[in-house]
Amino acid sequence: MARNVLITGSTGFLGRALVASVATPTINVIAASRSGDLIASANIRGVAVPDINEATDWTHALSGCDAIIHTAARVHVMHERAADPLALFREVNTAGTLNLARQAIAAGVQRFIFISSVKVNGESTASGQRFHPHDQPHPLDPYGVSKLEAEQGLLALARDSAMDVVIIRPVLVYGPGVKANFLQLMRVLRKGIPLPLGAINNRRSLVSLDNLVDFIKVCIDHRAAANQIFLVSDGEDLSTTELARKLVSHLHAPNRLLPVPQPLLYLGASLLGRRAVAQRILGSLCVDISKNRELLQWTPPVSVDDGLRNTVEHFLTTEQR
């Protein structure tokens, strides 16, 4: 008998990829989105969930559901203008998640996979250091706080119920269709615009969309994943300079990365009031995925080079339309 898996945020960057990959002859996907407008197939059923908060009724989505992959969230906002952003993040990411989990328990759902964020761990790691799943959480922004509070609530619910919880904290996700800063970087590099990124000696963990989807799929059924927290990455860390060079190569663009010393970049960013931006570009953030290998026997199937190549090829195809 086919199993039924509910995927929330099914029209998002991660959600779309999950729906396409998880739906098989043995797994039926219930794809929840604001409109429910997903092309249905024999193994995919779209359901409309206009808003996610503590009052959302999930009855129509949870009927016969065996597992949930909860990707829907109020995402990190670069230029937040809300008077109380933490309250808005908590409404969706904390209260909305725990409301879904409670209804899932009542409906007999066996496993709840929560897509959290590395921001629960913090914003950066010191040279030679890595975040681990068991580290003391240290979120520094409202988004990270709301995700941590959701994690804590889910684990408490799991302790008092028959439903397992799996918490996954991805690092920066890239892949075909990536948006935001990663997309802007590819656009600038393709145009050959000089950038002061030629001498940055940091280390950052990334995860390709293919690797993240593969890891989530493993967690749907693996017994050892129950009530565990995982960090996920490609297992290969890059400096910002190495990332930019690889993208330039795949883009077949001129290499105009200027070797500006990092201290000057930090100084310039500070003078312009862009310290947070400088930290993301110049700082390090590395994670340890040895737990994934040891507990779940999972190794990232896609290399960084292949992941970046796939991302660039899709970018070039769509930009030329």
Q: Which residues are catalytic?
A: 143
Query: In 40-195, where does DSSP find H-type helix?
Result: 59-62, 85-89, 97-107, 142-159, 180-190
Q: Count Cβ atoms below 10 Å from residue 182 Cβ, excluding itself.
A: 18
Instruction: Identify the three-state secondary structure at position 318.
Output: helix
Task: Report the C-alpha dihedral over residues 18, 176, 33, 220, rounded to 10 degrees.
Answer: 10
Query: Exposed, middle or buried by CB within 10 Å (0-12, 13-18, 19+), for 78?
Result: exposed
d(CA 305, CA 165): 32
CB contact burial 193-229 (16+ within 10 A = b; e otherwise) = eebbbbbbebbbbbbbbbbbbbbbbbbbebeebeebb
Please name every residue paired with 84 in a beta bridge, in sequence order, or none if there are none.
Answer: none
